[in-house]
Amino acid sequence: MVFVAGIDSLEKIEFCQKAKALYGIQSFNFDYQAGGLCHTSEFYRNMVGGYPFFLKGNFCYLGQNQEIISVDGPLIVDLKPERIIIIKDASDNNIMKQKLWKNIQDQEVNYGKMVGKALDIEVHIVKGSWIYSNDARNLFTPKSLLLPIHSVYADKIFAGSKKYEYRKRLCKGFIKKIYIYETAPVKKITGEVDVLRKLRDKKESLWELTHHAGGIGLEAYNQYFNRGIHACAYELGNARKYRQPRRLEEFGITYPPQGAVYVNQEF
């Protein structure tokens, strides 16, 4: 999920409409005064079948007495967005010249940066037209990955018992599919699996969320994530094992991959 903020509601609506037209990304409204999402990101994720979505909201708003009120930080942090986009109104109309408008926009940006720092995620401060940029295209165009995976874990993925693939870091952008390259002695691409979402959290929290279908024990988990405080995983959907394994060359890869590789082929 990407949290889309900014004090100009029309700008956010137009931004999300363009994102849907260009990349097929759905968007929803974050009602901070009603407690958010009913209120977790799972509510919306179930509506879109695991696909990426935008959540429109604010980091601050004007109270009845024209005071600037910040949204409860933990409420947004608990949503665990993958990144934050703040649309900064750069128009030259009269309201932009008013001190109050500038102050609330500055606080929106500063508070958004603070939340991004707490989550250790990227914060993009952009104009609405950024959605047409190459940076946006690279982020929001769905991608496929080829990942080297040991056979014992690949078997569990194909059997449906392993629903989380742990990684020390996640690839940027929206990942829709993983091609499974089974390492030695197989050394072939034996199938593919849909990606529902990317997860990143403190090691203990991610373990609590995923251990029931992670395919590994706690000792192996701690050994793999033996540095740092965060852990990552891809949540997996439907898996398909090929009747005939495919060679790396069919994907334009001429060497055994040591990590994730972006691929353009569709089979």
Contact 202, 230 (CB under 8 A): yes
pLDDT beyond 70 at 99: yes
Q: Are 108 and 7 in contact (CB under 8 A)?
A: yes
Cβ–Cβ under 8 Å, residues 189 and 146: yes
Would you state the pLDDT for residue 90?
A: 57
148-187 per-position pLDDT tens digit: 999 999 999 999 999 999 999 988 888 889 999 999 999 9
Q: Is the pLDDT of residue 194 over 90?
A: yes
Tell me the C-alpha to C-alpha distance, in Å, between residue 23 and each of 88, 134, 145: 22, 13, 18
Mean pLDDT value of segment 241-247: 95
Would you say 53 and 79 are in contact if contact means Cβ atoms under 8 Å apart?
Answer: no
Q: Mean pLDDT of all residues in the chain? A: 85
Confidence of residue 36 (pLDDT cuts 50, 70, 90): very low
Q: Tell me the backbone φ, ψ of residue 181, rounded to 5 degrees.
A: -100, 110
- Residue 258 has φ and ψ, to the nearest 5°, of -95, -10
3-class state of residue 266 by DSSP: coil
* Residue 110: other Cβ atoms inside 10 A: 12
pLDDT value at residue 31: 67
- In single-letter form, the type of residue at position 13 comes to I
CA atoms of 239 and 216, how far apart (whole Å): 18
∠ CA 214-219-221, nearest 5°, is: 40
- Percent of the chain predicted with pLDDT > 70: 87
30 compared with 56, residue with greater pLDDT: 56
Lowest-confidence segment of 83-92, 150-159, 227-236 by average pLDDT = 83-92
Least confident residue range of 26-35, 216-225, 235-244? 26-35
Predicted pLDDT of residue 91:
53
H or E segment to which residue 184 belongs: none
Between 69-73, 151-155, 251-255, the lowest mean confidence (pLDDT) is in: 69-73
CB distance 125 to 84 below 8 Å: no
Residue 148 token pair: 């080297």
Q: With 60 as the cut, is the pLDDT of residue 224 above it?
A: yes
> Is the preceding omega at residue 185 within 30 degrees of 0, hence cis?
yes
- The mean-pLDDT minimum among 10-24, 69-83, 104-118, 180-194 falls in 69-83
At 245, is the pLDDT very low, low, confident or very high (cuts 50, 70, 90)?
very high
Is the per-residue pLDDT at 14 higher than 60? yes
Read off the pLDDT band of 38 (50, 70, 90).
very low
